[in-house]
């Protein structure tokens, strides 16, 4: 396929946008066929915003320690499938984050700990959540109203109804999930700021109706994993009509090496969760 001479941009621009060098990108292309780009009528390779995003995603996946070929294959697979699932994205790209089976009480404690830490730090994070159904979000609406007040942007995705309709322009943005969305099965809370990141992601394991629900869960402060989760939810929010500010893309696509969440912040977050599970009497 070819593109017009005025469309796309050169490998030098792609390098500058992703923090790599043209030589590195040419090596990747020769060895792995990535980034492929498109040929202009004059035969020059041209690249687009989609190529920028994919190269940055490869860099994020590589940050978890996987080989370059595995990272490229993972991003290519995600692009072809159009990931509609946070849990699937984390399982595919971060297999070292082994899921644990948790009950609802433990997940609520972990989710609230992530939310509370976001409020306590007041560092204008992006805060995102998936709630399966609108009535489940309604129970936490007061918390999310406060989260949205201090966030740079906040959004929730769910199957909303007439009692609380979707409103992608609200704060937080309430974004309707299509009927076939895998996110309707998932419970997710993600916070990302310039210096901190955390994700709680889970899906309910099918079980007997008379048994307490069990969730296959990933809980992590690994920044690349939180960014991957955030991109899935931002994509779902955009598909429903939400318009995140440009600062959201800048944060999620920053090619510069991002700092890990400080250990003291991680400790404090999980101590919050433990305190909720075993409150003082």
pLDDT at 78: 57
> What is each CA distance from 57 to 71, 186, 278, in whole angstroms?
8, 22, 39
Paired residues of 198 in beta bridges: 191
Whether residue 104 is found in the same domain as residue 160: yes
272 belongs to a structural domain: yes
108 belongs to a structural domain: yes
CA distance 63 to 280: 39
The one-character DSSP state at 259 is P
Residue whose C-alpha is closest to residue 190's, from 159, 224, 229: 229
Kindly report the number of other CB atoms within 10 A of residue 248's CB atom.
21
pLDDT at 188: 96
Phi, psi for 216 (deg, rounded to 5): -80, 115
Task: Write out the DSSP string of 63-118.
Answer: TTT--HHHHHHHHHHHHHHT---HHHHHHHH-TTS--EEEEHHHHHHHHHHHHHHH
CA distance 99 to 212: 19
Whether residue 34 is found in the same domain as residue 68: yes
Residue whose C-alpha is closest to residue 82's, from 181, 184, 190: 181
pLDDT at 255: 59
**String of b and e for 151-190 (b: at least 16 CB within 10 Å)?**
bbbbbbbbbbeeeeebebebebbbbbbeeebbbbebbbbb
The CATH number assigned to the domain holding 55 equals 1.10.1660.10
The one-character DSSP state at 178 is P
pLDDT at 118: 86
CA distance 76 to 186: 23
3 belongs to a structural domain: no
Whether residue 137 is found in the same domain as residue 20: no
pLDDT at 3: 44
Whether residue 16 is found in the same domain as residue 127: no
How far separated are the first and last CA of the chain, in Å rounded? 68
Q: 19 near 255, Cβ under 8 Å?
A: yes
Whether residue 77 is found in the same domain as residue 127: no
48 belongs to a structural domain: yes
4 belongs to a structural domain: no
Whether residue 73 is found in the same domain as residue 31: yes
Q: 113 near 269, Cβ under 8 Å?
A: yes
86 belongs to a structural domain: no
89 belongs to a structural domain: no
Please count the structural domains in the chain: 2
Whether residue 160 is found in the same domain as residue 225: yes
CA distance 174 to 154: 9
Whether residue 114 is found in the same domain as residue 173: yes
Per-residue pLDDT of the chain (281 residues), as tens digits, is 444 434 688 999 999 999 999 999 999 999 999 998 887 777 778 998 878 878 987 887 787 677 898 888 867 765 654 457 898 888 877 888 888 999 999 999 999 999 998 888 778 999 999 998 999 999 999 999 999 999 999 999 999 998 899 999 999 999 999 888 889 889 999 999 988 999 999 988 877 677 788 899 999 999 989 998 999 999 899 888 899 998 898 888 765 556 678 888 888 888 988 888 887 76
| Residue range of the domain that includes 236 | 100-277
Antiparallel, parallel or unpaired: β 38-39 and 197-205: unpaired
226 belongs to a structural domain: yes
pLDDT at 2: 41
CA distance 115 to 205: 24
């Amino acid at each position: 396929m070819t593109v017009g001479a005025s469309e796309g941009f050169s490998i030098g621009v792609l390098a500058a946008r992703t923090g790599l060098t043209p030589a590195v990108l040419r090596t990747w292309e020769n060895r792995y066929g990535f980034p492929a780009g498109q040929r202009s009528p004059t035969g020059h390779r041209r690249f687009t915003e989609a190529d920028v995003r994919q190269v940055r995603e490869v860099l994020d996946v590589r940050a978890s320690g996987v080989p370059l070929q595995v990272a490229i294959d993972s991003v290519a697979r995600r692009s072809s499938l159009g990931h509609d699932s946070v849990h699937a994205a984390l399982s595919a790209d971060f297999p070292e984050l082994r899921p644990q089976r948790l009950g609802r009480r433990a997940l609520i404690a972990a989710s609230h700990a992530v939310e509370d830490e976001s409020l306590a730090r007041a560092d204008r994070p992006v805060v995102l959540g998936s709630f399966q159904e609108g009535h489940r979000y309604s129970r936490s609406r007061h918390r999310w109203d406060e989260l949205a007040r201090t966030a740079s942007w906040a959004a929730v995705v769910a199957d909303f109804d007439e009692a609380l309709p979707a409103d992608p322009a609200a704060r937080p943005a309430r974004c309707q999930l299509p009927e076939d969305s895998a996110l309707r099965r998932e419970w997710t809370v993600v916070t990302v700021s310039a210096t901190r990141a955390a994700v709680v992601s889970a899906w309910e394991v099918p079980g007997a109706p008379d048994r307490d629900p069990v969730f296959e869960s990933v809980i992590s402060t690994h920044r690349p994993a939180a960014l991957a989760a955030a991109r899935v939810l931002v994509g779902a929010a955009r598909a429903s009509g939400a318009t995140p500010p440009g600062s959201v893309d800048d944060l999620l696509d920053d090619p510069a090496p991002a700092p890990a969440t400080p250990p003291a912040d991680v400790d404090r977050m999980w101590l919050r969760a433990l305190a909720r599970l075993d409150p003082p009497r």
